[in-house]
Amino acid sequence: MTSLLARIAVAFGLASFVLMAALHALRPDLNPAWHVLSEYAVGKFGFLMALCFLCAGIAAASLIEPLLPYARGRAGRAGLIFLGLASLGLLMAAVFPMDPITTSPDSATFSGTMHEIAGTIGVPAQVLAAIFITLTLRKNAVWWNVRAGLLALTHLTWIGVLLTFVFVAVLMQRHALGGWWMVGWANRLFMAAFCGWVIVAACPLMASARAKVAAV
């Protein structure tokens, strides 16, 4: 079961990457420097963005059970809880697309409101899951060969979120697009880093499961 769930995590994590890349080609009207990923869910090909969030949510959820024997202690258990919340947020984002960026707060739809709640739950949970779980796995022999990758992707996850909030603050202050404040790329860095983290965390579990089968 561990190997199967790890394979699911890797497969759906990779699928999320592919869908993100495809949307950049299919929606050239959305400049990736200034538009966040969620905006792909509005309009043509919106279902692909929903699938992207769905795949990322499934990938994160699939990683929880295989990590149970390894994510020990308070940090490990907290990390698994945050991983579950991260999955919940991503799945909610898949079901509830955001409102168009020009929608006023008074005109927000139920779907748009739920999407904001999904982000409030999922974004910090993704960062905290990566941080706490990496802290518990980095010295484990199973992840010894990928510890540098785990650490790097963990740092990129929180850096992507931090930059996103900084650039959003700049945009709100200046009421203008363009310039060096590339909120879209920061948002993509965060999403790509988290999906990459899920994949890197899952790969050693597949190898470990194969080794146990071979030993038997």
Contact status, residue 55 vs residue 12, Cβ threshold 8 Å: yes
The residue among 31 and 195 whose pLDDT is bigger is 195
Number of helical H runs and strand E runs in the chain: 7, 0
Q: Give the number of other Cβ atoms within 10 Å of residue 95's Cβ.
A: 14
Domain residues of the chain, as ranges? 2-210
Share of the chain above pLDDT 70, in %: 90
The residue among 37 and 177 whose pLDDT is bigger is 37
Kindly report, residue by residue over 111-142, the tens digit of the pLDDT: 999 999 999 999 999 999 999 999 999 889 99
Instruction: For residues 92 and 96, give the distance between their C-alpha atoms in angstroms, rounded to a whole number.
Output: 6
Could you please report the per-residue DSSP string of 92-126?
Answer: HHHHSPPPPTT--GGG--HHHHHHHHHHHHHHHHH
Which of 21-35, 97-111, 187-201 has the weakest average pLDDT? 97-111
Instruction: For residues 122 and 150, give the distance between their C-alpha atoms in angstroms, rounded to a whole number.
Output: 19
Q: Give this prediction's pTM.
A: 0.89
pLDDT of residue 172: 55
> What's the pLDDT band for 208 if we cut at 50, 70, 90?
low
